[in-house]
Chains A and B, each alone.
Chain A
Amino acid sequence: MTGPLADRRRPRIVIPLAQQATGGLLSMLACLIAAPMVLSDYQLMLFSTGIGYSVAVLGVAIGFASIGMLALAQPAMMMIGGFLALHMIEQWRVPFVVAATCATAVGAIIALPLGWLTCRLDRFAFAVLSFTFAYLVAMLMSSSLLSDVSGGELGRPFPVDAALAFVPQGMAAYVIVATVGMIAFASAALLFRSTMGRILIVMNQDDVVARTMGINANSHRIALTAIVSGYGTLSGALVGQASGFIAPPQFDVALSISLLAMALVGGAGYLFGAFAGTMILQVMPAVLGLTQVDRELLVGIILLACLAVLPRGILAIGRRRLPRPPAGAGH
């Protein structure tokens, strides 16, 4: 083939999330394998709770890294997913994996109409609306209106999956949470290698160009809202399984800010960033035995330092930004 089409190469699109995926997944797998060998039972419970939270942070990171979405409704989704999984296990005796999968699907389905309603809003309007939604859900779940579902302020115990009854309880919860968490992170890696992932990257780089090229930005925004919410509801189920307990105060509005902070500190553009950020800001302070107030101080200081010095997150240390292809490459 000759002529101008002969040199048409596939355009080199820089996709940090996809390129770092393999290394990120292997690092995470190494941590998950090593954890039971080096941590005590209590520390392992904190670590597995952290894995649960990291799935919610992953959703926030995906939304932020792709189109700059400020997904502040994750605590609400976590609460919905956690209590839904709890009731499915209690009422219908389904295995945890089935309950968690259903919770993920329900989260995505709930988010579809919400995404459709909000897809034309600007970033800050979406953030305000989602923050208000998180506040509303937290308030309703803590109130007497839904106390039959949530147990009110005191919450409900979360049953461990009966399939692993032969394993010590703490280890059973860890195995389930680590496995499902790993699958969640692997799915995020696949997402950014897919066509949709590339479209999201293009929308982030230049929304106008994306629309000009025929990409329906609104429908992709709606799909992204569903994906982010799905990770949120899955995370709620995982947190319940890991801690053996689920209560509305675990998912207050301050958690919205904390999840975003974890995503930013770890590095929203890196797959392992959600995991790293959660370990630094959620698990490490708990393992060190810091009080809630001292944890908040630590989170605020680390977040501020990261935003000022490392705006791309801790995982960006030592990584240089890959160059954009010169204009006209691939044409």
Chain B
Amino acid sequence: MLLATIVSGVSLGFLYGLVALTLILLVRSTGVLNFAAADVGMLSAFVAFAAIAQAGLPVPAALVLTGCFAILFGVFVYCSFILVRPGDALMLSLRTLALFILVRAVAYKIWGANSPYTFPRLIPEGGIAVFGLNVSFTQLLVIALALAVALAVGWLTSATKIGLMLRAVSSDRDTAADLGVPVIRVDLVAWCMATLVAAFVGILVAQLNYLSPDMMSPILLAGFAAAQLGDMHSMRIALIAGIALGIIQSVSSVYLNQPEWSQVLSFAVLAGGLLLRGQLRRRVVVT
């Protein structure tokens, strides 16, 4: 049973890690901490739900439509929240707070009356035996797809021209602009990547649990935690931290009598990790 719980935690942890990935992508390129990172995924999941369950579109077409929506939404958010009136990183991050409130309110307004919904099953029921362990197709696919997306983002940022430009902008925005890097285009790419990954996470969360306007709250918090443990810089560490958080939550919710204690434990891990990071940074500065 422990192994099954760990596998469940790993699948959940990958989702936390992907949310952390979107946060770090935007912080590194634009300096903006996107408080609405996860809820943009929730909105995209509702678009997919509306396309499949309400409009009756075939699943592949609905997923393509959702992807297009996510990209266009990223463009819209960047142009209307960030580009129209530039400001410092703190002010821009606070605008994403307004986006967080608005996205939730819009979702409640349109779909809140009959929530929660059951998202159409995209992955068949059942599972396979892996080393004597029963793993559901849903969990397997979540892990496989999340890993693929994480690797794709990592490859994009490290081995492509756009990735090089992203790293240049995150390193020194003004110098990159002086050297001819199209900073605004790079920011747009970062925002579109972030919203696309968030849409992917939203659909997977809806597959695993249920679909409602507040389904992403625990995912967002864990994503923030994983991103902070990665120092808002290392995607690799953030992904590992997300997986670790997922495993801790999953195991503790099964083996502790009260499920609330799993959240307490996650908070303790987050607090301990942040404090340790602060102490390590202090020692590096002193030496």
Contacts and interface: CB of A to CB of B under 8 A. Distances in A.
Contact of B94 (A135, A264, A296): A264
A135 B221 contact: yes
Nearest to A143: B260
Q: Please tell me the size bucket of the interface on B.
A: 35 or more
Contacts of A300: 98-99, 101-102, 105
Given A124-B228, A261-B97, A296-B108, A143 B258 contact: yes
Nearest to A144: B258
Interface string B132-157: 00000000000000000000000000
B264 A136 contact: yes
A330 interface: no
Interface stretch (A92-100, A304-312, A315-323): A304-312
A308 B85 CA distance: 6
B98 A303 contact: yes
A77 B198 CA distance: 32
Contact of B95 (A121, A125, A297, A307): A307
B104 interface: yes
Given A120-B278, A304-B95, A129 B270 contact: yes
A308 B102 contact: no
A139 interface: yes
A253 B270 CA distance: 18
A226 interface: no
Contacts of A118: 274-275
A109 interface: no
Contact of A129 (B102, B217, B274): B274
Given A132-B225, A296-B104, A308-B85, A117 B271 contact: yes
B109 A293 contact: yes
A261 B274 CA distance: 26
Contacts of A125: 228, 274, 278
Contacts of A157: none
A261 B81 CA distance: 16
B69 interface: no
B95 A308 contact: yes
A201 B282 CA distance: 25
A243 to B, nearest CB: 23
Nearest to A117: B275
B187 to A, nearest CB: 17
B263 interface: yes
A260 B260 contact: no
Interface in A123-181: 123-125, 128-129, 131-133, 135-136, 139-140, 143-145
A260 B101 CA distance: 12
Interface in A207-241: none
A121 B102 contact: no
B233 to A, nearest CB: 12
A132 B108 contact: no
Contacts of A124: 33, 93, 228, 232
Contact of A145 (B33, B84, B218, B258): B258
A56 interface: no
A177 B260 CA distance: 34
A143 B225 CA distance: 23
Interface in B48-75: none
Contacts of B258: 143-145
B234 to A, nearest CB: 14
Contacts of A15: none
B163 interface: no
A301 interface: yes
B98 A261 contact: yes
Given A257-B101, A300-B98, A303-B97, A293 B108 contact: yes
6 contacts: A118-B274, A118-B275, A120-B279, A125-B274, A129-B271, A257-B100
Interface of B: 33, 35, 81, 84-85, 87, 90-91, 93-95, 97-102, 104-106, 108-109, 112, 217-218, 221, 224-225, 227-228, 232, 258, 260, 263-264, 267, 270-271, 274-275, 278-279, 281-282
Given A68-B90, A118-B274, A135-B217, 6 more contacts: A120-B279, A129-B271, A293-B112, A296-B104, A303-B98, A311-B91
5 smallest A-B Cβ distances: which pairs?
A300-B102, A300-B101, A296-B105, A304-B98, A303-B98
